[in-house]
Structure 1
Amino acid sequence: MSNTHDLIARAIREKKQITAIYQGYYREMCPHALGTKNGREQALFYQFGGQSSTGIVTPDSTFNWRCIPIEGLSEVNIRDGEWYTANNHSQDQTCIDGIEIEVKP
């Protein structure tokens, strides 16, 4: 397991924010679940700030969920701050088929 994996797991346990670069875009996110999909480490994030391939992120949108492979993240940092989620968090996710850790309600 990588340092990135450990940071994300800690952020989930402590409800901390993550900042990172993914696909060349700076992102501010709250991780909700961590595990594997087809043997590949992935995390489910709610992105509340920064940018994505579609432009500036709209705060509080139910479309801000991101399924990101851990290996694609760089410059990962953990920080204190408000915990962000969306009201559709209770819907079944398909990002991770083997959940290692997820946010407690």
Structure 2
Amino acid sequence: MIDLEGAMASRTYTLFRNAILAEQQVTCVCEGRRRELCPNIIGTDKSGEEAVLAWQFAGESSGSLPQWRCLKLANVSGARARDGRWHEGGSHRSTQTCVTNIDLDINVDVRKLR
């Protein structure tokens, strides 16, 4: 797990990280909306805040679904991991900038090991 400048990772961070390792879905509330996600990359953003890049496949959104979501984990509540079909996001048209200090990337650290 990355060093969060001497701080322990939050419980939410640990839940999302474990969900990536187990390829589990996560349900949560972020920005007042219920979200159903498959987290792909976790770490910290450019300001050092815990962040996750996830594929939102269901739930509530201000735009159309499915779509990529960059979540600051400090804004997430009620996170729960669950078993379910893994949903894949489409390819990126540009390099992701959500997580600048990557702790875990499902495509590099999890699936490559199989």
Instruction: Give the alignment's TM-score, normalised by structure 1.
Output: 0.87
Q: Identity over the aligned pairs, expressed in percent?
A: 36
Instruction: Give the alignment's TM-score, normalised by structure 2.
Output: 0.80
Q: How does 1:1-105 map to 2 (within 5 A)?
A: 1-37=9-45, 38-54=47-63, 57-59=64-66, 64-89=67-92, 91-104=94-107, 105=111
Shift of 1:2: 1.0
Structure number having the greater helix percentage: 2
Shift of 1:53: 2.4
Structure number having the greater strand percentage: 1
Shift of 1:89: 4.7
- Please tell me whether the aligned partners of residues 19 and 25 of structure 2 are also in contact (alpha carbons under 8 angstroms): yes
Give the RMSD, CA atoms, in angstroms. Answer: 1.5
Distance (Å, rounded) in 1 between the aligned partners of 2:62 and 2:28: 14
Larger of the two Rg values belongs to structure = 2
Distance (Å, rounded) in 1 between the aligned partners of 2:12 and 2:93: 26
